[in-house]
Amino acid sequence: MLNMVEGLARLQAVATSPVVEAVAHAFAAAGKDLALVGGPVRDALLGRPTHDLDFTTDARPDEILAIVTPISTTQWDIGRSFGTIGARVKGENVEITTYRADEYDGITRKPVVAFGDSLETDLTRRDFTVNAMALKVPSVTLVDPTGGVEDLVAGVLRTPIDPQISFGDDPLRMLRAARFASQLEFTVAEPTLQAIAALRETIRIVSPERIQSEMVRLLQTDDPSRGIRILVESGLIDEFMPEVSALQLEVDEHHHHKDVYEHSLTVLRQAIQHEKERFPDAEPNIALRLAALLHDVGKPRTRKLEPNGGVTFHHHDVVGSRMVKKRLQALRFDNDTTAAVAKLVELHLRFFGYAEGAWTDSAVRRYVRDAGSLLAELHILTRADVTTRNKKKAARLARAYDDIENRIDELAAQEELDSLRPELDGNQIQATLGIGPGREVGEAYKFLMEIRLDEGIIGSEAAEQRLRTWWSTRA
């Protein structure tokens, strides 16, 4: 719960930090108002780390630039047309924006930029009340025209104005509601939720790149499932990632299977937990988190109800991999992320064959080869995919995966598994067989790779002999 006394003390500390004081006194000397606004104010009150310093002012862009130039080492005006000037002051980046009083046409997300003269008007045009608070500096006066403090205390996300108007102005705010709900562990006010459901189709005017960016920021939170539930329950996710809500498979009285949707959210939470344990100082792994959420998206398309009351999902890994690749491409994810997620989805079932019976060294090598650079992520995803409530079964699977990881480590120490390749390269193959570049070199490379996977390291001389024998017996 928010402690206002402690929160105000933290605000005072931010306001008297060297950077804020330098900027505040520069604007005061120029006769201009200045206020720290939005996220920094919210996070200081909540006791969360403050990363970005965003200010708002009655000064116009040219005036802002003139004021900050003497106190900064660098300035940038890429956002000048929207009233924003950036600067580096005392080693920190700050952004200062002229009060805004924009209007939207309801057709695009692009506002008709209009500068305002009132801090209160500027605040009421923001996305949520908890982001619509400002701290005037250097006077250290909190300005909260829409009840942001009360909503912080209640842990509620609410728009400063009618949500129908707010989301109508900028539909991307609906996605931000889900992200902030997860980031802050807040609930969304019922009228705000109803507006998201009613206006969900308006998200179509938002570019795929912006939707992707918000989804990434949601997945970077400690528990994205809260926000994902909001997206699914409101129907908003159906507009850009319908595969997630499709995981809510109907279960009839004759055919029973686990709740795939709830299972997927559990896998996502467990994957994040494993990720933090293995890589405590790393940035959130978006490819892994996407794979955890989407690993079973092939199940709805492959579900088959058996006469005996069972349910099967044959090849849902392969089908899901294709679906994931298509969806992430539509959302303009980069090629590396798309390929990584598709590969993890394709491979997420591979381990369970190991749990049912011991693998040969060859099978372990192929597992490593197929995972490639994603082996660590596959380890995490596979462990996270165990959500059974049967403690004995869970313990058995955990032991089996401990075993496969140990075997991978042992083989890696013996055989350099991190760089699995034949013992002869392309040039050596050509020299051994007396041939030039061409299709035959590729076939020979593949033949030697199979030996490497099946038998491990046999030595270059043995590899040459096996290659000559294979070449002499080719049809």
Please name the amino acid found at residue 432.
T
Both tokens of 92, joined, read 């920190």
Which of 187, 210, 240 marks a domain boundary? 240
Q: How far apart are CA 414 and CA 205, in angstroms?
A: 56
Q: How far apart are CA 466 and CA 445, in angstroms?
A: 12
pTM: 0.83
Q: How far apart are CA 75 and CA 64, in angstroms?
A: 10
Residue 116 and residue 170 in one domain? no
Q: How far apart are CA 304 and CA 301, in angstroms?
A: 9
Residue 115 and residue 54 in one domain? yes
What residues have CB less than 8 Å from 197, skipping those under 6 apart?
Answer: 234, 235, 236
Q: What is the pLDDT of residue 250?
A: 56
Q: What is the pLDDT of residue 255?
A: 40
First and final C-alpha spacing in the chain: 77
Both tokens of 318, joined, read 């392969």
Contact of 113 with 103, CB cutoff 8 Å: no
pLDDT (tens place) for every residue of the chain, 475 residues total? 567 778 888 889 999 999 999 999 999 999 999 999 999 999 999 988 887 899 999 999 999 999 999 999 999 988 888 899 999 999 999 999 999 876 666 566 566 667 888 999 999 999 999 999 999 999 999 999 999 999 999 999 999 999 999 999 899 999 999 999 999 999 999 999 999 999 999 999 999 999 999 999 999 999 999 999 999 999 999 999 999 999 997 554 434 456 899 999 999 999 999 999 999 889 999 999 999 999 999 999 988 877 776 777 888 999 999 999 999 999 999 999 999 999 999 999 888 766 666 777 788 888 888 888 899 999 999 999 988 888 888 888 888 888 888 888 877 766 555 567 788 888 888 888 888 888 888 888 888 888 887 777 888 888 888 888 888 887 5
- What is the 8-class DSSP label of residue 432? H
Contact of 214 with 179, CB cutoff 8 Å: yes
Q: How far apart are CA 112 and CA 119, in angstroms?
A: 19
Q: What is the pLDDT of residue 448?
A: 86
Helices then strands, each counted (H, E), the chain: 24, 11
> Which is nearest to 275 in space by CA: 203, 377, 372?
377
- Bridge partners (DSSP) of residue 304 are 312
- 75, 279, 406 from 178: Cα distances, Å: 34, 26, 40
Q: How far apart are CA 123 and CA 131, in angstroms?
A: 8
Residue 274 and residue 387 in one domain? yes
Domain hosting residue 260, numbered range: 242-419
Residue 201 and residue 228 in one domain? yes
- What is the 8-class DSSP label of residue 112? B
- Per the listing, tokens 């099967």 go with 312
- Per the listing, tokens 């250290």 go with 140
Phi–psi pair at 37, nearest 5 degrees: -140, 150
Contact of 124 with 148, CB cutoff 8 Å: no
- CATH number of 343's domain: 1.10.3210
Contact of 75 with 85, CB cutoff 8 Å: yes
Cis omega (within 30 of 0) for bond into 280:
no
Residue 146 and residue 172 in one domain? no
Both tokens of 419, joined, read 């760089």
- What is the 8-class DSSP label of residue 7? H
Residue 403 and residue 257 in one domain? yes
Which of 374, 390, 419 marks a domain boundary? 419
Query: What 3-state DSSP class applies to 382?
Result: helix
Contact of 257 with 251, CB cutoff 8 Å: yes
Q: What is the pLDDT of residue 415?
A: 55
- CATH number of 74's domain: 3.30.460.10
Cα Rg, the chain, nearest whole Å: 28
Residue 190 and residue 170 in one domain? yes
Residue 195 and residue 93 in one domain? no
Q: What is the pLDDT of residue 252?
A: 44
Residue 246 and residue 233 in one domain? no
Residue 4 and residue 29 in one domain? yes
Residue 213 and residue 298 in one domain? no
- Bridge partners (DSSP) of residue 187 are 156
Which helix or strand (DSSP H or E) is residue 351 part of?
helix 351-356
- CATH number of 183's domain: 1.10.110.30
Residue 250 and residue 367 in one domain? yes
- What is the 8-class DSSP label of residue 260? H
Both tokens of 37, joined, read 């606004």
- Bridge partners (DSSP) of residue 87 are 75, 94
Which of 219, 240, 261 marks a domain boundary? 240
User: What total of structural domains would you count in the chain?
Assistant: 4
Question: Backbone dihedral region of 75: left (phi > 0), alpha (psi from -120 to 50 degrees) or beta?
Answer: beta
In 120-221, which ranges are E strands?
134-136, 141-143, 156-157, 187-188
